[in-house]
Structure 1
Amino acid sequence: MSKIEQFTTEINQGYTCKGSSINLGGAIFEGEAHDIHVKIPLKTLNRHGLIAGATGTGKTKTIQVLSEQLSQNGIPVLMMDIKGDFSGIAAKGEEKEFIKERHSKINIPFTPKEFPVELMTLSSQDGVRLRATVSEFGPVLFSRILDLNETQAGVIAVIFKYCDDKKMPLLDLKDIKKVMNYITEEGKEEISEEYGKISTATTGTILRKIIELEQQGGDIFFGEKSFEIDDLMRIDKNGFGYVNIVRLNDIQDKPKLFSTFMLNLLAEIYNTMPEKGDVEQPELVVFIDEAHLIFNEASNALLNQIETIIKLIRSKGIGVYFITQNPTDIPKGVLAQLGLKIQHALRAFTANDRQAIKQTAENYPISEFYKTDEVITSLGIGEALVTALNEKGIPTPLVACMMRAPESRMDILNEKEIDTINSNSKLVEKYAEEIDRESAYEILSKKIVEISEEATDKDEEKKSTKGPSTGEVIGKSVLKVVTSATFIRGAFNVLMKVLKK
Structure 2
Amino acid sequence: MTAQDSTLGDTDDKIFVGKGNEQAWLTLALANRHGLVTGATGTGKTVTLQVMAEGFARAGVPVFAADIKGDLSGISEVGEAKDFIVKRANEMGLKFQPDQFSTVFWDVFGEQGHPVRATVTEMGPLLLARMLDLNDVQEGVLNVAFRVADDNGLTLIDMKDLRALLDAIVPEAGKKGADAEESPLGDIKKEAQGFGNVTKATVGTIQRQLLVLENQGGTKFFGEPALTLKDFMKTDRDGRGMVNILVADKLLQSPRLYATFLLWMLSELFEELPEAGDLPKPKLVFFFDEAHLLFNDAPKALMDKIEQVVRLIRSKGVGVYFVTQNPIDVPDRVLGQLGNRVQHALRAFTPRDQKAVAAAAQTFRPNPKLDTAKVIMELGKGEALVSFLEGNGTPAMVERVMIRPPSARIGPITPEERKAIMDASPVKGKYDTAVDSESAYEMIQKRIAGTAATADGPAGESGGGILGQIGSIVGGIFGTNVKRGRLSTGQVIARDVTRSVTNQVIGGLAANVGKSIGGQLGGSIGRTLVRGALGGLLRR
| TM-score using structure 1 length | 0.81
Give the Cα–Cα distance (whole angstroms) in 1 for the partners of residues 91 and 237 of structure 2. 34
Offset, 1:188: 6.5
DSSP-derived class of the 1:252 partner: helix
Q: By how many angstroms is 1:322 displaced?
A: 0.8
Higher RCO (Cα < 8 Å, 6 or more apart) = 1
Deviation per CA, 1:296-351: give whole Å up to 9, x if none.
Answer: 25333222211111111111000011111111111212111101110001122334
Q: Is the 8 A contact 1:27 1:399 kept in 2?
A: yes
Which of residues 146, 161, 165 in structure 1 aligns to 2:151? 165
Q: Which runs of 5+ in 1 are unaligned?
A: 1-16, 29-35, 452-501
Say whether residues 1:27 and 2:20 are aligned partners: yes
Q: What does 1:400-419 correspond to in 2, within 5 Å?
A: 400-419=400-419
How far residue 136 of structure 1 moved from its aligned partner, in angstroms, is 1.3
The Cα of 1:187 is off from its aligned counterpart by 5.9
* Matching residue of 1:256: 256
Between 313-322 and 176-185, the greater mean CA deviation after superposition: 176-185
Q: Tell me which amino acid in the other structure corresponds to 1:45.
A: A
- Please, which of 97, 112, 136 is the counterpart of residue 111 of structure 1? 97
Conserved? CA contact 1:387–1:396, under 8 Å: yes
After superposition, the CA RMSD in angstroms is 2.3
Give the letter aligned to residue 360 of structure 1.
A
Contact 2:112 2:247 in 1 (8 A): no
* 1:113-192 correspondence runs (5 A): 113-148=99-134, 151-184=137-170, 185=172, 189-192=186-189
2:211 aligned counterpart, secondary structure: helix
Superposition pairs of residues 50-449 of structure 1, within 5 angstroms:
50-148=36-134, 151-184=137-170, 185=172, 189-195=186-192, 196=194, 198-296=198-296, 298-449=298-449
CA displacement 1:238-281 (0-9 Å, x = unmatched):
11100000001112220121122112101111111110111110
Partners of 2:364 and 2:397 within 8 A in 1: no
Query: Match for 1:365: what amino acid?
Result: R
Q: In structure 1, give the amino acid aligned to 2:19.
A: G
* Cα deviation 1:410-451 (Å, max 9, x = unaligned): 121111100100111131311011001111112212322339
Letter in 2 for 1:111: Q
Matches within 5 A, 1:431-470: 431-450=431-450
Q: Which amino acid aligns with 1:107?
A: G
1:149 and 1:355 mapped to 2: Cα distance? 32
Maintained 8 Å contact 1:286/1:320 = yes
| Aligned residue number for residue 33 of structure 1 | none
Superposed CA offset, 1:73-130 (max 9, x none)? 0000001111111110011112222222212222123211010000100113132111
Match for residue 49 of structure 1 among 15, 21, 35 = 35
Distance 1:119 1:59 in 2: 21
Displacement after TM superposition at 1:150 (Å): 5.2
Corresponding residue number in structure 2 for 1:491: none
Residues 69, 55 of structure 1: CA spacing in aligned structure 2 closer, same or farther, 3 A cutoff? same
Task: State the distance in 2 between where 1:164 and 1:153 align.
Answer: 17
Structure 1 CA distance, aligned partners of 2:349 and 2:46? Answer: 23
Amino acid corresponding to residue 235 of structure 1 in structure 2: T
CA contact (8 A) 2:119 2:226 kept: yes
Structure 1 pair 259/73, CA: closer, same or farther in 2 (3 Å)? same
Q: Distance in 2 between matches of 1:187 and 1:341?
A: 59
| Alignment length (residue pairs) | 431
Residue 222 of structure 2 aligns with an amino acid whose one-letter code is F
TM-score, normalised to structure 2's length?
Answer: 0.76
State the SS of the aligned residue for 1:411.
Answer: coil
CA gap 1:189/1:447 in 2 versus in 1, 3 angstroms: closer
Task: Look up the match of 2:482.
Answer: none
Deviation for aligned residue 1:147: 5.0
Question: What residue identity is the alignment partner of 2:165?
Answer: V
SS at match of 2:36: strand
Point out where structure 2 has 5 or more consecutive residues left out of the alignment.
1-9, 173-182, 452-540
- Do the aligned partners of residues 169 and 188 (structure 1) sit closer, same or farther apart at CA in structure 2, a change above 3 Å counting? closer
Alpha-carbon distance in structure 2 between the residues aligned to 1:245 and 1:192 = 44
Distance of 1:420 and 1:288 partners within structure 2? 26
Distance (Å, rounded) in 2 between the aligned partners of 1:265 and 1:50: 19
Mapped partners of 1:65, 1:103: distance in 2: 13
The question of whether the paired residues in 1 share the 8 Å contact of 2:12 and 2:59 is answered with no
3-state SS of 1:22 partner:
strand
CA spacing shift, 1:157–1:354, aligned 2, 3 Å: closer
| Partner-residue secondary structure (3-state), 1:442 | helix
Partner of 2:216, secondary structure, is helix
Question: Which segment is superposed worse, 190-199 or 73-82?
Answer: 190-199
Q: For residue 201 of structure 1, report the CA deviation from its aligned partner.
A: 2.9
